[in-house]
Amino acid sequence: MGYPDLPRTQLFIAGEWADSQGGETFSVIDPSTETQICEVAAAAPTDVDRAVTAARHQFDGGEWSRMSGAERARLLIRLAELVEANAEHFAALEAREVGKPYADTLAVDVPLAIETFRYFAGWADKITGATVPVPDFMGKLRFSYTERVPVGVVAAITPWNAPTMITSWKLASALAAGCTVVLKPAEDAPLTSLLLAELVAEAGFPPGVLNVIPGLGAVAGAALTEHPGIDKISFTGSPDVGRIIARAASESFKQVTLELGGKSPQIVLPGADVAELAPVAAASLFANSGQTCAAGTRVLVHRSLVSEVAEALREQAAAQRLGDPFDARTTMGSLINARQRDRVMDYVAAGIEQGATLVTGGKHREGPGFFVEPTVFVGTNDLTIAREEIFGPVGTIIPFDDVDDAIRLANDTRYGLAAVVWSHDIPTVLSLTRRLRVGAVWVNAWGAPDPRLPWGGTKTSGIGRELGLSGLHANTEERVVNIVY
Ligand code: NAD
């Protein structure tokens, strides 16, 4: 697999491809070679307005608004089939624009996106309310029921780290619920969203149900967030931008789902099998070069196992092979851009300066490509590297003395996305998991979210849930009907 064919690189509005109104474009770079892949149209505020108008038209009485759940399900299943038929194309585009191994994308991201479309297709004709027993109303019989109705036009704003998968989360749940969508993909990685737009048209969705408007966050993202025609914003990205979006949404009381960052703990309890956990613990640190929101970057280890875990992670790091995302031997690709590489290297420098012990890594490669070595420190939970999300392949082993200490450290963070517990002592695991302030816990494993399970965080990791039934309901509102007779 070499350079994939490119999808259309214009804006997709009301089922048609068009340049931005001012003719602006931005470059998409292959971060593993630092060469330009292509120029993509950059939506101006007037383009955003056209996209929202198209989505509103379909929602407020267009063909889409009259479709049954069963018809929406059929379209979503057709879309899943088309994504499946184009799986290699998606994986190749994502590997190119994100710099992550093609094999990982083909094995994990794309199949999970397909699963997500299929899963939510299954819900589209099963969105039900309830009949609620209520007292008579002023001496007359009263029959009351609830129904779940689509929330409206959803603005979906996505990050660059797993574009195929994360876009499917937002799109599948919103379309199953009957919403229409304006999607603003990340400027570093818009290509898979543009391929998806082609397939949405091919699947037969009415024009305007999905509009894709690549563009800069501060221009297209801001115009979309502030647009009065948007009913809900579904955002995945950094807490800093999440805060801007929540503020903008509050002006017109838009609903928001915020999937933000993480600083997730992996808790290695006494007696854990270090040889068994090491490869997965390392994957949690180094997969996608650490650019994973659920990365288990604080490795909390019982003091009796610190040397053994440090040695095991050093060996795992040594076994990583950095390089061309399309080389089957590559296990780690590049970081997304020079800014991210420099940011990660600044954190590494801060770790060393603040007295953490470097176990392995700590260097970046000279270009081309933004490659950073898998890096492991031993340190404490108060260091900058243990407090801030680095979004690079950097983990910190932090010793603890007993279970209470482990829980205190695990919760001593402003984030609360995920946690991993390594132990086969089930009573201890259960007593521990119920005290973790996080949205998801893995015990003796770590992996990508499953579409059937809700996904989201507490504290600075976000508001609301995507995926699962909760993710469907997040795209609906409840309406109560009282019939008095
Ligand atoms: P980012 O916040 O910089 O950008 C995300 C999106 O927001 C992009 O599309 C960007 O163009 C847009 N944006 C930027 N400024 C905007 C503005 N003023 N108004 C509206 N939109 C704007 O995040 P990123 O660097 O692309 O992604 C990395 C972050 O995403 C990390 O913090 C990571 O943890 C988080 N993330 C979270 C999850 C999750 O499920 N919780 C999943 C993946 C990534």
C-alpha closest to that of 26 among 323, 337, 242: 337
237 C-beta closer than 6 A to ligand 1: yes
Quote the tokens at residue 159.
Answer: 């990050």
- Dist. CA 427 → ligand 1 center (Å): 38
231 C-beta closer than 6 A to ligand 1: no
- Dist. CA 182 → ligand 1 center (Å): 16
Contact between 84 and 203 under an 8 Å Cβ cutoff? The reply is no
Is residue 17 helix, strand or coil?
Answer: strand
Q: Which pLDDT tens digit goes with each residue over 368-414?
A: 999 999 999 999 999 999 999 999 999 999 999 999 999 999 999 99
Q: Which pLDDT tens digit goes with each residue over 38-79?
A: 999 999 999 999 999 999 999 999 999 999 999 999 999 999
Please identify, by atom number, the ligand 1 atom nearest to the C-alpha of residue 242. 2
User: pLDDT-derived band of residue 367, with 50, 70 and 90 as boundaries?
Assistant: confident
- Dist. CA 275 → ligand 1 center (Å): 35
In this structure, the chain runs to a length of: 485
User: For the chain, how long is the longest CA-to-CA vector?
Assistant: 81
Give dist(CA 284, CA 294) in Å, integer. 8
Contact between 97 and 370 under an 8 Å Cβ cutoff? The reply is no
161 C-beta closer than 6 A to ligand 1: yes
Q: Is the peptide bond before 368 cis (omega within 30 degrees of 0)?
A: yes
Q: Which pLDDT tens digit goes with each residue over 276-333?
A: 999 999 999 999 999 999 999 999 999 999 999 999 999 999 999 999 999 999 999 9
Q: Which of 157, 264, 466 to mutate to test the pocket of ligand 1 (most atoms within 8 A of CB)?
A: 157
DSSP 382-428: TSHHHHS---SSEEEEEEESSHHHHHHHHH-SS--SEEEEE-S-HHH
**Residue 10 DSSP label:** S
**Of all protein residues, whose CA lies closest to atom 38 belonging to ligand 1?**
293
Q: Which pLDDT tens digit goes with each residue over 451-469?
A: 999 999 999 999 999 999 9
Catalytic residues: 259, 293
Average pLDDT, the chain: 97
Contact between 281 and 266 under an 8 Å Cβ cutoff? The reply is yes
466 C-beta closer than 6 A to ligand 1: no
Write down the pLDDT at residue 1.
Answer: 58
The secondary element (H helix, E strand) that includes residue 378 is strand 375-378
Q: Which pLDDT tens digit goes with each residue over 17-44?
A: 999 998 999 999 999 999 999 999 999 9
**Residue 458 DSSP label:** S
- Find tokens 């088309």 and name the residue: 82
Write down the pLDDT at residue 273.
Answer: 97
Look at residue 3 and tell me whether its pLDDT is greater than 80. Answer: no
Q: For 471-475, what is the mean pLDDT?
A: 98
Q: Which pLDDT tens digit goes with each residue over 422-456?
A: 999 999 999 999 999 999 999 999 999 999 999 99
The burial of 472, by beta-carbon neighbours within 10 Å (0-12 exposed, 13-18 middle, 19 or more buried), is given as buried
- Dist. CA 91 → ligand 1 center (Å): 21
What pairing do the DSSP bridges indicate for beta strands 131-132 and 142-150? antiparallel
Give dist(CA 397, CA 265) in Å, integer. 10
Write down the pLDDT at residue 369.
Answer: 98
Contact between 255 and 454 under an 8 Å Cβ cutoff? The reply is no
389 C-beta closer than 6 A to ligand 1: yes
Tell me the Cα Rg of the chain. Answer: 23
Please identify, by atom number, the ligand 1 atom nearest to the C-alpha of residue 184. 9
Q: For 360-369, what is the mean pLDDT?
A: 96
244 C-beta closer than 6 A to ligand 1: yes
User: Which H, E and C letters describe 199-262, residue by residue?
Assistant: HHHHHCCCCCCEEECCCCHHHHHHHHHHCCCCCEEEEECCHHHHHHHHHHHHHCCCEEEEECCC
User: pLDDT-derived band of residue 4, with 50, 70 and 90 as boundaries?
Assistant: confident
* Composition of the chain by helix, strand, coil, percent to 5: 40, 20, 35
**Of all protein residues, whose CA lies closest to atom 34 belonging to ligand 1?**
261
Question: How many Cα atoms within 13 Å fall on the side-chain side of residue 478?
Answer: 9
Q: Which of 161, 235, 284 to mutate to test the pocket of ligand 1 (most atoms within 8 A of CB)?
A: 161
User: pLDDT-derived band of residue 2, with 50, 70 and 90 as boundaries?
Assistant: low
Quote the tokens at residue 336.
Answer: 């997304």
- Dist. CA 116 → ligand 1 center (Å): 21
